[in-house]
Structures are given as structure tokens and as C-alpha cells.
Amino acid sequence: MGATLLSVRGITVRFGGIVALDGVSFDVERGQISGLIGPNGAGKTTLFNVVTRLYAPDEGELELDGRSLLQTPPHRIVERGIARTFQNINLFRSMSVLENVLVGAHTRGRSVGAGDALAMLEYVGLADRASMPAAALPYGVQKRVELARALIARPRLLLLDEPAGGLNHEEVEELGDFILGLRRDHDLTVLLVEHHMSLVMRISDHVNVLSFGRRIAGGTPDEVRANPDVIEAYLGGD
Ligand code: ATP
């Protein structure tokens, strides 16, 4: 704990005339749950797409464990210890739950078989649905399959893009406890993009706030909640 795992330094991303990220800098400390919030279009998903190397930034530097990420091609990002889930469910609908989890098994120098995938499904409470087609499952359960697929790669840094989207109140509570358990059991660092404020504020150690591509605040949940700039940009409208 304490050392920086991910360092985001002056990241700028432009899409034609749109500046999606404008010189964004922040650190994510090892072992932390780090929330990333901001209004629609603030640049949160774009930041995930930069960290996972889907987009190359126009400016800036990214480091994981003190080593540049920008030299790492997208297909090697998992080997560097980064896994993600997506805002919109991204499962192979006709494949079984187990097969979907195995798709995530491009690991760092260790082979993963069906036994590992089953153990992961057990961990997320889905062992009894391993052979079902993913599309047959309720939405909230499909989101857990996505989590299992990300976790099977044994990441050090897990990027969660709106994991609470579409979940009911009880499922959001369970998700929060699950993420806290992940950090405890798996020594994971989590970067969490989420619009569900009570979830972010409950489980995050640190929260960064983006607005129109700029980082306008960062601090503990209590500090961020009390920040007038944040209230004006975002929480005021919540
Ligand atoms: P939301 O909370 O609605 O998911 P966000 O904070 O994740 O929003 P982004 O999706 O990162 O925001 O979008 C930031 C800005 O960049 C928006 O203005 C968006 O329209 C623009 N943008 C994102 N991706 C692209 C792209 N591939 N091409 C053009 N513009 C893009």
C-alpha cells in the first residue's frame, strides 16, 4: 500500500475539434479503490480507452509501476496487469458463461484452464450457470460474468466502467461489497467510473472528478462531496 500503481500525466485526447481530455493528471495508489466521476461526456470512458491503449493520447504520459504504458501495444495490456469491464455489456451472447470467462484468460505467463474459470465463477457466485448461454442470463448476472472474465486474467489494476448501470438497489449494494472484497482478497487496485454516487462515495478511498475533459477536483469522498466546484459541475444536478 502507499506506492503509486498508475500515474496519469498530462493526458490530452482530441477527436477532431473535441478535446475529450485536456491535460489530465492524477495517481492511483496501489491497493486503493479510486473513483472517477463527472457529468456525461466528461471524458471518463476516454481515459479508460487511453489506459487500455485503445486510443493513443495526443499528449501526456502514462506509467504503470513506474514503467511507461504508451509503449505497450493494446494486446499486451493484460500482460502488464490491467483488465477492464465495459459500460455496455460486451459478452459473446451465444457462447456459454464458462467460454466467456475463458476468453479473458490471456494471462501473464500462466496458463488458465476450465478449472480456473470454474473457480472464478464460483467466486462470483455463478458456478451453477457455467454451461448456460450468456444471453439467457438476466442483465445483472451478465455483468457478473464480465467481472469474472476480467478477473480470470489476475489483474493488478481493474478498470470498472459503470458496473452499477442497470442494476437494482440490492444488486448495487452487493456489487459494492463485492468490490471491497476483491480489494481485500486479491490485493487489487480498482479504478471505478460510476454515476451511482452513493456507491462511489461508500467504497472509494479517493475520488477524482472530471468535467469537460479537465480534472477539477480530487480527494477523499468527503472532500469531494464538499468541494464547491464539484457541487456546481456535477453533484448539484444529481
Ligand atoms: P458518460 O458518462 O456519458 O459515459 P464519459 O465521461 O465517459 O461520458 P466520454 O465517453 O469519454 O465521456 O466522452 C468524452 C467526449 O469525447 C464526449 O464529448 C464524446 O462525445 C467525445 N468522444 C468520445 N469518444 C469519441 C470518438 N471515438 N470520436 C469522437 N468523439 C468522441
Nearest CA to ligand 1 atom 3: 40
* Distance, CA of 175 to chain centre: 13
What's the predicted TM-score (pTM) here?
0.91
Bridge partners, 211 (sequence order): 214
Protein residue whose Cα sits closest to atom 10 of ligand 1: 45
Rounded to a whole number, what is the distance in angstroms from the first to the last CA of the chain? 32
At residue 131, the pLDDT reads: 94
CA 20–ligand 1 middle distance (angstroms): 6
CA dihedral sign of residues 90, 41, 203, 190:
positive
The confidence score (pLDDT) of residue 115 equals: 86
Residue nearest atom 21 of ligand 1, based on CA coordinates = 20
Q: State the ipTM, two decimals.
A: 0.96
Assign 238 a pLDDT band (cuts: 50, 70, 90). very low
Cell triple for residue 182?
476483491
* Confidence (pLDDT) at 88: 80
75 CA to centre of ligand 1 in angstroms = 22
**47 Cα: distance to centroid of ligand 1 (angstroms):** 9
Q: In the structure, which protein residues have their CB atom closer than 6 angstroms to any atom of ligand 1?
A: 15, 18, 20, 38, 40-46, 87
Q: Indicate the top mutation candidate among 36, 37, 44 to test ligand 1's pocket, ranked by most ligand atoms within 8 A of CB.
A: 44
